[in-house]
Structure 1
Amino acid sequence: MELALVGSFLLMAFSGVPVAFALCLAVLVILVFFTGQPSVLIPQIMYSGVDSFSFMAVPFFMLAGAFMSEGGVTKRLVSFAQTLVGSFRGGLAQVVCVSGMFFAAISGSSAATTAAIGTTMVDEMEKKGYRREFATGVVAAGGTVGIVIPPSITLVVYGVIAGTSISDLFVGGFAPGILMGLVMCLVSWFIAKREGIPAEGKFSFVAAAKAFGDSFFALMTPVIIIGGIYGGVFTPTEAAAVAAVYGIVVGMFIYGELKLKDFPSIIFKAVIGTTLIMFIVGAAKVFGWMLTNLEIPHHIAAYVVSLTSSPIAFLLAMNILLLVIGTLINASAAVVILTPIFLPVALQLGIDPLFFGVLMVVNLAIGCITPPVGLDLFVASAVTKVPLEKVMWASLPFLFALLGSLLLLTLFPQIILFLPNLLN
């Protein structure tokens, strides 16, 4: 039955069946042909899988990102990033990386970060002499931090499934996200130097201070969220609602670019985005339920422990697996399926569940630009109209650099754990 379950899922996934449907249909195959249990179990388990108060954070964070994007936040964040790193060689490429970190603190989604930065920056980079393929590769890579830097929808999903503090996960995501952004800035500098792209202008404290003031309320979003959670003012779920209301206030009354007539389309987009995520999470819950029933997690845990008792060896093997899975499955779905399988092994080997969760999300984030089917590659290609294969080649230097940062995080867990331990 194990082979039938996994085999039917892979067959459907590679045949072009949407992942959520492939997950449910694979379980249906087992129910109909092997167990004889009623198929009504599938919608029941899907519902139970998303019936959690903590998941209320997902639509609110989606709304917060949409309100702020429409309210003029994106261009202000880009302007601030430009004053910080725009004067360096390859400055505009580094602006994309820094803007990706800023926007990640609002959107919670890698695809949304890629789309928002791509529509803003690629044409501008091309005008300044950057190859369009290179500009698109930078945008695809810059979006990866969208699910690492808080608020991260994927970290919320892991926290619910693993029973780990979402606020601690959020804090743990800061250092890896910043490390990923800095590594990508360094790669941008090297490529710009190789291609003879000169630096533009000089750094100005006055311009940076002015841009900071203009984007101050946007930059306060993660401060309010994390500060409110750790200050005991609200829970992570309530923080998402606060972020959505804050997005409305900033867009309408501070920047004045968000209008009431924009609300229906913004809410509709957030509803569609939330529905897609929750449907995938529900489907993954069904698949995970069948995996548990077949005792696959137990068998895998026993097999892994029999092979090695080294946490590092286990984590390195997990990195490879997650990078591959991250190209095939939505990050939230991968977390729902794989956490019940591998977290018990991690705990048995003495690995901190908070560290394991953040490392898992970093892996899946990098999977978003891992060929051949990384999600951010498709998003960047669609936004910029650059052929997918050219986006893949352009993003490879950033992929290798991010893999280096992943290895660093794996070998030195305190990079992730330092801030949560300090605050606790």
Structure 2
Amino acid sequence: MTFALGVLPVLLLALGFPVFLVLLTAAAVALTMFMDVPLAALHQTLYGSLDAYSLLAIPFFIYAGELMGRGSVARRLVAVVQAGAGNMRGSLGVTTVGATAVFGAISGSSAATVATIGRVVLPEMRRAGYPVPFSAGLVTSVGAIGVIIPPSIPMIVYGAAAQESVPRLYAAGVFPGLLIAAMLALYVYVQARLQGFAPGEPSTLRNFMVAMKKGVWAMGAPFIILGGIYGGVFSPTEAGGVACVYSALVTRIVYRDLSWRQVLKVAEASAALTAQILIIIACASVFSWLLTVNQVPVMVVGWLQGLELSSWMILLAMNVLLLVVGCFFDPLSAILLLSPLLVPIAQAAGVDGVHFGIILTVNLAIGLFTPPFGLNIFVAQSVLKQSLGDIYRGTMPFFLIYLVALGLITYIPQISMLGVQLLLRQ
């Protein structure tokens, strides 16, 4: 059994097999060679893992984000934030952080945020004289906020895997996301003062109101989505459906960015992306089920309890593990693989399941821009035409900022739970 669940997956990954195929192969080998279980259990678990109402939100938010990303929404968001930033030093960098946070509250996808916002701000940052590594690192790393600020697809998956409330996870993600955004904006401002980045154009109330008038429909999306969830109007899954309708109406009828044919093309592309995500979820769920059936989580918890580690040391060890895993696995696969192992450990250490979900999400968000396999790095390289060397050098300062934020979020649970108390009155 150790070979099937431990050695074989590592071997297949080293050979370059896709993650879903690695997990499915390991599960099939374990069932056929090491367990006296009918093979039909494999099929039942594959399909049963997708029979979760909360997972319906994934295709909805993907489609809404794709619609907004294909049109002029990103450009209008950047214009509104930039008008608010005014002529302060580093205003364009601060605008990048703010626009990313707002767009992340629409799409829930880090890669889509990097590609969409990056296309708008990178040319402007070049013209303003920002160093290439700095601008590349900023755009690549700030996109990770897109999976921390709700709506977040990884949080939906964690909620399904750990049986936690998605609305509570969304509420808990608000202040950690804003904390990281504030720390990144402060760093950009300090660097702008030290390196003499060009200030932005002076902003007047009239300019701000003009930008807001042009971008009010784009700014309305996160308010409708999050306001509806926290106001009890609809569930996160229903919010995804509302976001789809709203995005289609805004991009097609209000802004006229897309034709109806293009709207359907976006739906086709979103369906393909959804299929890629769901097949990973299904295969990872089978692998996680096998770990649970073979009592691996129980054994790991017992082993850790035998070491008599304090809670802060357990959290530190889990953070290190998650940071390493995030360098090699995408967040969804990592969540489904590690939740059965780590959630019982966190509960044994007295950590709230929602708080741990935020810790897990922030760790894996950092992995999105960490070498060697950070998804945001490849998006920035291919879509934004940035070199790997510039990206690697540029992301290092931001990596350290995220680590500081992770430490605060891990050991000060009130940062996460305050959102639950204020937004959901719990």
Query: For structure 1, which segment, 252-261 or 52-61, has the greater mean C-alpha deviation from structure 2 after superposition?
Result: 252-261
Give the equivalent residue in structure 2 for 1:316.
316
Q: Is 1:228 aligned with 2:228?
A: yes
Query: For structure 1, which segment, 184-193 or 330-339, has the greater mean C-alpha deviation from structure 2 after superposition?
Result: 184-193
Identical residues among aligned pairs (%): 37
Give the equivalent residue in structure 2 for 1:210.
210
Give the equivalent residue in structure 1 for 2:80.
80
CA deviation string 1:115-170 (max 9, x = no partner) = 11122221221122123332221111111011111111111111112222111111
Give the equivalent residue in structure 1 for 2:175.
175
How far did 1:255 drift? 2.0
Give the equivalent residue in structure 2 for 1:296.
296
Query: For structure 1, which segment, 26-35 or 102-111, has the greater mean C-alpha deviation from structure 2 after superposition?
Result: 26-35
Q: Is 1:345 aligned with 2:345?
A: yes
Count residues with an aligned counterpart.
424
Mapping for residues 254-333 of structure 1, pairs under 5 Å: 254-333=254-333
Q: Secondary structure at the match of 2:291?
A: helix
Is this contact kept in 1: 2:409–2:416, CA < 8 A?
yes
How far did 1:322 drift? 1.0
CA deviation string 1:191-223 (max 9, x = no partner) = 334433232333433322332332222222222
Question: Residues of 2 paired with 1:106 and 1:389: CA distance?
Answer: 31
Question: Residues of 1 paired with 2:86 and 2:159: CA distance?
Answer: 37
Is this contact kept in 1: 2:322–2:363, CA < 8 A?
yes
Is this contact kept in 2: 1:327–1:375, CA < 8 A?
no
Root-mean-square deviation (Å) = 1.8
How far did 1:173 drift? 0.9
Mapping for residues 373-392 of structure 1, pairs under 5 Å: 373-392=373-392
Question: Residues of 2 paired with 1:387 and 1:71: CA distance?
Answer: 26
The structure-2 alpha-carbon separation of the partners of 1:304 and 1:389, relative to structure 1 and needing over 3 Å to count, comes to: farther
Q: Secondary structure at the match of 1:257?
A: coil
Give the equivalent residue in structure 2 for 1:188.
188
Q: Is 1:58 aligned with 2:58?
A: yes
Unaligned regions of 5+ residues in structure 2, if any? none
Is this contact kept in 1: 2:173–2:358, CA < 8 A?
yes
Query: For structure 1, which segment, 144-153 or 386-395, has the greater mean C-alpha deviation from structure 2 after superposition?
Result: 386-395
Give the equivalent residue in structure 1 for 2:148.
148
How far did 1:171 drift? 1.3
CA deviation string 1:203-252 (max 9, x = no partner) = 43332233233222222222222322233322221111011111112222
Question: Residues of 2 paired with 1:418 and 1:339: CA distance?
Answer: 23
Query: For structure 1, which segment, 310-319 or 104-113, has the greater mean C-alpha deviation from structure 2 after superposition?
Result: 310-319
Is this contact kept in 1: 2:66–2:112, CA < 8 A?
no
CA deviation string 1:371-405 (max 9, x = no partner) = 22211111111122222233111110001011111
Give the equivalent residue in structure 2 for 1:108.
108
Unaligned regions of 5+ residues in structure 1, if any? none
How far did 1:86 drift? 5.3
Question: Residues of 1 paired with 2:270 and 2:144: CA distance?
Answer: 20
Normalising by the residue count of structure 1, what TM-score does the alignment of the two structures yield? 0.95
Give the equivalent residue in structure 2 for 1:335.
335
Q: What letter matches 2:367 in structure 1? A: G
Question: Residues of 2 paired with 1:379 and 1:360: CA distance?
Answer: 22
Question: Residues of 2 paired with 1:12 and 1:88: CA distance?
Answer: 51
Question: Residues of 1 paired with 2:34 and 2:161: CA distance?
Answer: 28
Query: For structure 1, which segment, 167-176 or 8-17, has the greater mean C-alpha deviation from structure 2 after superposition?
Result: 8-17
How far did 1:107 drift? 0.7
Is this contact kept in 2: 1:137–1:394, CA < 8 A?
yes
Is this contact kept in 2: 1:80–1:212, CA < 8 A?
yes
Query: For structure 1, which segment, 293-302 or 253-262, has the greater mean C-alpha deviation from structure 2 after superposition?
Result: 253-262
Is this contact kept in 1: 2:101–2:145, CA < 8 A?
yes
Q: Secondary structure at the match of 1:35?
A: coil
Is this contact kept in 2: 1:187–1:397, CA < 8 A?
no
How far did 1:38 drift? 5.3
Query: For structure 1, which segment, 325-334 or 227-236, has the greater mean C-alpha deviation from structure 2 after superposition?
Result: 227-236
How far did 1:361 drift? 0.6
Is this contact kept in 1: 2:328–2:372, CA < 8 A?
no
Normalising by the residue count of structure 2, what TM-score does the alignment of the two structures yield? 0.94
How far did 1:3 drift? 4.8
How far did 1:37 drift? 4.8
The structure-2 alpha-carbon separation of the partners of 1:383 and 1:195, relative to structure 1 and needing over 3 Å to count, comes to: farther
Is this contact kept in 1: 2:132–2:390, CA < 8 A?
no
Q: What letter matches 1:369 in structure 2? A: F
The structure-2 alpha-carbon separation of the partners of 1:381 and 1:349, relative to structure 1 and needing over 3 Å to count, comes to: same
How far did 1:349 drift? 2.1
Q: Secondary structure at the match of 2:102?
A: helix
Query: For structure 1, which segment, 285-294 or 249-258, has the greater mean C-alpha deviation from structure 2 after superposition?
Result: 249-258
Give the equivalent residue in structure 2 for 1:12.
12
Query: For structure 1, which segment, 246-255 or 146-155, has the greater mean C-alpha deviation from structure 2 after superposition?
Result: 246-255
Is this contact kept in 1: 2:162–2:340, CA < 8 A?
yes
The structure-2 alpha-carbon separation of the partners of 1:22 and 1:213, relative to structure 1 and needing over 3 Å to count, comes to: same
Q: What letter matches 1:75 in structure 2? A: R
Query: For structure 1, which segment, 116-125 or 183-192, has the greater mean C-alpha deviation from structure 2 after superposition?
Result: 183-192
Is this contact kept in 2: 1:111–1:379, CA < 8 A?
yes
